[in-house]
């Protein structure tokens, strides 16, 4: 359980919020979302027929959620990728690990500060999603589940980045590896699923059940696919012959990412404990 009185958490939060970077990132995040939604709404209201403009909420809400998830994929790894690497570069890591602070205290403090700022950034978009929700087209339950998918994805990306920061000495290299890890999760795995689907279309006798299971299991790990099934009506469900066909995609995606989070935290604690024992 994360302690609010954790001195490392308090120090990290004060350091993070006192700098210009926190203000710039939060402001840029909101401005990018506002500009994209504003441009799309203007294009719909001016150029689209009435039948389409009356469905603006059904278009704007999914677009806002997709853009938010894309921004989270880009910025979340940077929040914690240099948490430990920067301590090594500044030669303060040995002092930190030699204090009375336990490895769990260091992890909770460093990772907790990154997650707190990530949640602050995400919740900054609530006025915009409230505006698009008022236009209709997407239910409140679908929006709440989409935010759950985004929060879990952000927590997973921060945890994976923290794990890399405990393993890589250079902060820049840790950030690069973290970004490539996120790209692999959100792009490479679904791309492999699409490739397998394209290959399956050339089968004379049709793809086997094992082939379809592997393809849809890859799809079930992707947060964009989970949100697509939540906010886009009419998306065809997985065939009844594949594994877990009756389970919503967002449930398996959230479970998969939570397992990744637990694994990355476990590895991070082992790394911190190993350094402490060596000292």
Percent of the chain with pLDDT over 90: 19
> If you average pLDDT over residues 217-231, what whole number do you get?
87
> If you average pLDDT over residues 52-80, what whole number do you get?
84
- pLDDT digits 0-9 by tens, 111-132: 888 898 888 888 888 888 888 8
The CA distance from 196 to 192, in Å, is 6
- pLDDT digits 0-9 by tens, 146-189: 999 999 999 999 999 999 998 888 888 888 999 999 988 888 87
Q: Is the pLDDT of residue 278 over 80?
A: no
> If you average pLDDT over residues 56-80, what whole number do you get?
87
The pLDDT assigned to 17 comes to 79
The pLDDT assigned to 266 comes to 94
> If you average pLDDT over residues 188-210, what whole number do you get?
70
Q: Is the pLDDT of residue 12 over 90?
A: no
- pLDDT digits 0-9 by tens, 206-220: 666 777 777 788 888
């Amino acid at each position: 359980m994360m302690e609010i009185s954790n001195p490392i958490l308090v120090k990290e939060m004060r350091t993070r919020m006192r700098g210009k970077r926190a203000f710039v990132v939060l402001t840029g995040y909101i401005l990018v979302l506002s500009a994209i939604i504003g441009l799309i709404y203007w294009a719909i209201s001016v150029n689209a027929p009435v039948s389409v403009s009356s469905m603006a909420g059904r278009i704007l809400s999914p677009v806002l959620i997709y853009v938010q998830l894309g921004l989270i994929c880009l910025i979340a790894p940077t929040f914690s990728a240099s948490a430990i690497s920067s301590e090594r570069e500044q030669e303060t890591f040995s002092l930190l690990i030699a204090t009375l602070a336990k490895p769990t205290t260091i992890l909770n403090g460093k990772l907790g500060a990154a997650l707190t700022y990530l949640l602050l950034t995400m919740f900054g978009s609530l006025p915009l999603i409230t505006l698009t929700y008022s236009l209709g087209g997407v239910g409140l339950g679908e929006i709440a589940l989409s935010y759950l998918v985004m929060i879990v994805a952000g927590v997973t990306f921060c945890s994976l980045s923290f794990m890399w920061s405990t393993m890589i000495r250079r902060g820049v290299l840790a950030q690069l590896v973290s970004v490539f890890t996120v790209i692999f999760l959100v792009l490479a795995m679904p791309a492999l699923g699409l490739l397998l689907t394209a290959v399956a279309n050339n089968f004379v006798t049709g793809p086997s059940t094992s082939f379809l299971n592997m393809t849809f299991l890859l799809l079930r790990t992707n947060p964009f696919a989970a949100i697509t099934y939540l906010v886009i009506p009419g998306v065809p469900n997985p065939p009844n012959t594949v594994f877990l066909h009756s389970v919503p995609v967002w449930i398996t995606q959230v479970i998969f990412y939570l397992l990744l989070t637990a694994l990355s935290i476990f590895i991070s604690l082992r790394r911190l404990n190993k350094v402490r024992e060596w000292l």
